[in-house]
Chains A and B, each alone.
Chain A
Amino acid sequence: MSVAAPRRRAPRRAHGPRILLTTEATYPYAMGGVSSWCHLVVSGLPEFTWSILPIHAGGRRPRQLFELPPHAALAGRVDVWSEQLPRRRSRRNRRGTRRGSRPALPAELARTLIGWTSDPDALTDALVWCRRHPEALRRTFRSVDAWSLFLAELRNVLDERHPDVGRTPELDAVDAANLYQRLYWIARTAAVETPATDLLHVTAAGWAAIPALVHQRISGVPLLLTEHGVYVREAYLAAARSSAPAGERFLSSRLARGLSMAAYAGADVVAPVTEANARWELGLGVEPASIRVIHNGIAPTPSRSDPPGDLKVVSIGRIDPLKDVQTMLHVAAEVTRRIPAAHFEYWGPPTKGQEVYARTCEVLRGQLALGDRFRFMGTTSAPADVVRSADVVLMTSISEGLPMAALEAMAQGRAIVATGVGGVPDLLRGCGIVVPSGDVRGLATGVTALLRDQRLAARLGQRAYARVHDHYTQHTCLRRYRALLAELTGPRP
């Protein structure tokens, strides 16, 4: 990884407290809900000086998709899996860095990140060592001793017995080497220099937390964690759906858990976007007093239109197993069986890496003989127009935070039928139909009822419109963040 490209820049206009925002695979290099939220907060709060430290994977030079405002600048970029080594630090920046070796480092990282009984303090100690010895990391991880110690510790971790843990799968040498490589990249991420700041703002309880945890330990700056989804929950869901070998699934979910637990332990405030996430965070050990729910917001629309009555059902989202598009196809088959004139449009591209899933969806569409009654429309740059053309908006996700697509539909006054995951039930309370995830019949009945009863659909849309304007505007979101950031960057008691 290099923090090499692009070089660190200072914001063109810098005044007010400094905030370092760390992101993972999102802002400013990818479109999506988290990126939109980042851009809203960074652009909408010019009284702070923002530095953005994105963590990017893939070994490719990413394209910046968001133009940063004058009071914000990139603080470098962490290119995970790239072959580039960190740029040698200048003499001035080398203060505090030391030569040395710590052959037990990979073993310590394995223990603190993969072990069930986590020790965030020990993890942060190891990560701080990485920051202070950046040039020792490659040498350490390539040493025979480090590999031997790591293997011994990994066997100890797997032998760990705890009532909350079932039987661990048997790992093989490739699983171990794979984990070893990931731990190397975690160490390299920890070694990244971070600029002086008054507040660390982490946007996911995973890799994005690593440089922030180190900075916090070294300088005592407060750390704010905003969770859009629940990182560890999504990692476990991904592992549960994955066809990867048991060892690989086990390690990726445990690693996410280790990172999340460390992020939760280090965060002074955790700000989920929905109460549903807060329930997970509480369940995972976050102190209730540290949690402040701040909802996502959307730009208000001046007026609301009634549904056009075309029997059109629309969905917006990436083609991704988390969106459970296959259930949606079955719902479409069921609805069109009941109302032959009904038709469905799915707007959104496949998630990178989920092209095979997208192809299986296309195959299923053919098997269900849906033809033109269900169409994959590709990407849209005008989601508001797409939603406005619909009578009903359908969401079949198995995991959500506070979905922007739902807020978009509500802002246009459209009735929604959705699965009750994440923050969706809270969001749609009294203004939509919520069904358990995977319930094809329930979802189909909801959609059919709204298509047949246009007055009910309009009334639900009206209530959704009112609800979004009362509780989920960008203005409200920014006002609450402004207050929270001022509190965290202000004088401490």
Chain B
Amino acid sequence: MHARLGRPAQDVLELAVVLEAWGGIATVTALGLGAGALPHDAQPTPEQSARWAPADHAIRESVVPEGVTLLLAILAIAAWAGPLGRQLGPATLGRALSVALPVTLSLQWMIRSRYLSRQAGLRLLAADRVPLSLLAAAIGTLLLLLPGFGPIAAMLVAIWVGGTVLSRRGWGLAYGALLIAEAVGLAAGLAADLSLGAVTLATTIAVAAAVGTAGAASGELPGRMARALVAALLGALLGGLLVGDTSLGWGIHGAFPALALVPSVIGSVWGGYHLWALHDEIPRGLRGVSLAHAGGRIAHGPAAGIVIGALARLVGITTFLSALVLSAGFWTRGTDDLSLFVAFGCAALLCLLVSLLESLGYLRWALLSGAAGLAAELGMNRWAGAPVPGAGLIAGSVVGTLIAGVPLTGRLRSPGRMLATALWIK
């Protein structure tokens, strides 16, 4: 037994199986050896701490180009705000943005939940191209029907959602170049509706090509539809939170006002990237933790460490970059209100926590924190006004964050429970 296994048999069945398979002993004899052949006093052989197969690194690594693309998009669109506001009128652009942003976030969260969170995400998208095209057409038609600002909103949604698909395909830089070209064109005096239409058409064609050339069906299953719908609702709530505060102005005033978004977006991408380690690090950190401690709280456990690390990255980078942008007052005319940066930083924090709750399957908590945040923001706007720019967004984000923190606080301190009941029971 020792020669074959390098350890004593765990029970009489293993003894019989090994002796029969490798020792040439007849089944009946092997099964009849019984308990007498087992060394009951043997100590368990110490083992190497097991390696842990990392989760899907390809998807984790794709967060970086997606983040860079997002940043390019924000910078470019920040540059669009002034010229678009001048050509279309601030009111029209403001209304278009307040519809386009929630719709975009809703669609992005949905396709990420159902398709892009999978390795074969684009192929899964391709497999569902007919219902997705119908959905896109329906949303586009509804938006176009909105009087005045509808066509602009529809084009912005198509451009932003298309960017998510293109960056996943690895075409993020080309997409960024397209947005920068549009920024240059608008600054040079191109007609807003025509040039935006051209960018929309180019993005749509590129998306069709990206999905069409993604490859054959892989057999991988898409995410649950019900969960994708909840994700869509979460995206809409967070989008609503971003546009619900009328004091933000959304870059219609000032030269590059949407620059205020950049620090929190970079912080959010970095924090989110760190959070991906959760799926690897929790099992790694729990290796060797005895059963007696598997259900209890572990001070400085792997789950809490990673989430705190992600939050620290988000807050740290947002604060640092905000200070940097504020200090460059010449460039950031119109975005030099400290409260604006605080508001976007709080919103990024809430987005991160809601996203974490969603990925762990605590959908009701995620919905509750998103909805409560939005309600608090709207309530603030209605009854308290805007003592400082972004006050509503700050209030909503803080309320949402506090609610999101309730389920997370206890669970993060019990990583064993989190692994068993949340990460591995989807």
By the criterion of a CB under 8 Å from any partner CB, how many residues of chain B are at the interface?
64
Interface contact B24-A174, CB-CB below 8 Å: no
- Asked if A142 lies at the interface with its beta carbon under 8 angstroms from chain B, I say yes
Chain A residues 443 to 476 lying within 8 A of chain B, measured CB to CB, are none
The residue from A155, A239, A438 contacting B291, defined by CB atoms under 8 A apart = A155
Query: Taking the nearest CB of chain A, how far is it from the CB of B53, in angstroms?
Result: 11
Chain A neighbourhood of B39, CB < 8 A:
166
Interface contact B17-A180, CB-CB below 8 Å: no
Chain B residues 1 to 59 lying within 8 A of chain A, measured CB to CB, are 4-5, 7-14, 16-18, 20-22, 24, 27-28, 31-32, 34-35, 38-45, 47, 50
Offer 21 A-B interface pairs, CB within 8 angstroms, sorted by A.
A59-B221, A83-B426, A85-B226, A141-B421, A141-B425, A151-B295, A164-B34, A167-B42, A168-B10, A169-B10, A169-B44, A173-B415, A173-B419, A177-B420, A232-B13, A240-B5, A245-B50, A279-B31, A399-B21, A421-B21, A437-B21
The residue from B5, B12, B220 contacting A59, defined by CB atoms under 8 A apart = B220
Interface contact A237-B419, CB-CB below 8 Å: no
Interface string of A127-159 (1 = CB under 8 A from B): 000000000001001111011100100110010
Residues of B bordering A, CB below 8 Å: 4-5, 7-14, 16-18, 20-22, 24, 27-28, 31-32, 34-35, 38-45, 47, 50, 217-221, 223-224, 226-227, 283, 286-295, 361, 415-417, 419-422, 424-426
The residue from A83, A85, A163, A172 contacting B288, defined by CB atoms under 8 A apart = A172
Interface string of A388-411 (1 = CB under 8 A from B): 000000000011000000000000
Interface string of A209-253 (1 = CB under 8 A from B): 000000000000000000000001100110110001110111001
Interface string of A181-194 (1 = CB under 8 A from B): 10010000000000
Chain A neighbourhood of B34, CB < 8 A:
163-164
Q: How far is B123's CA from A231's CA once the two chains are assembled, in angstroms?
A: 37
- Asked if A165 lies at the interface with its beta carbon under 8 angstroms from chain B, I say yes
Query: Taking the nearest CB of chain B, how far is it from the CB of A478, in angstroms?
Result: 28
Among B10, B50, B219, B426: residue with most chain A CB under 10 A: B10
Interface contact B9-A173, CB-CB below 8 Å: no
Interface contact B42-A279, CB-CB below 8 Å: no
The residue from B28, B226, B361, B422 contacting A283, defined by CB atoms under 8 A apart = B28
- Asked if A116 lies at the interface with its beta carbon under 8 angstroms from chain B, I say yes
Interface contact B419-A398, CB-CB below 8 Å: no
Among A147, A233, A421, A438: residue with most chain B CB under 10 A: A147
Chain B residue with minimal CB distance to A397?
Answer: B21
Interface contact A236-B13, CB-CB below 8 Å: yes
Chain B neighbourhood of A142, CB < 8 A:
361, 421-422, 425
- Asked if A111 lies at the interface with its beta carbon under 8 angstroms from chain B, I say no
Q: What are the nearest 3 A-B pairs in CB distance?
A: A436-B24, A173-B294, A283-B31
A181-B420, A184-B425 given; name 20 further pairs at CB < 8 Å. A60-B219, A60-B221, A82-B221, A83-B221, A141-B425, A164-B38, A165-B11, A166-B10, A173-B289, A173-B415, A174-B287, A176-B291, A180-B421, A180-B425, A236-B17, A253-B14, A257-B13, A283-B27, A399-B21, A421-B21
Chain A: interface size category = 35 or more
Interface contact B35-A437, CB-CB below 8 Å: no
Residues of A bordering B, CB below 8 Å: 59-63, 79, 82-85, 116, 138, 141-144, 146-148, 151, 154-155, 158, 163-174, 176-178, 180-181, 184, 232-233, 236-237, 239-240, 244-246, 248-250, 253, 257, 276, 279-280, 283-284, 398-399, 420-421, 436-439
Chain A residue with minimal CB distance to B292?
Answer: A155
Q: How far is B39's CA from A173's CA once the two chains are assembled, in angstroms?
A: 27
Chain A neighbourhood of B220, CB < 8 A:
59-61
Q: How far is B197's CA from A119's CA once the two chains are assembled, in angstroms?
A: 70
Interface contact B44-A164, CB-CB below 8 Å: no
Query: Taking the nearest CB of chain A, how far is it from the CB of B13, in angstroms?
Result: 6
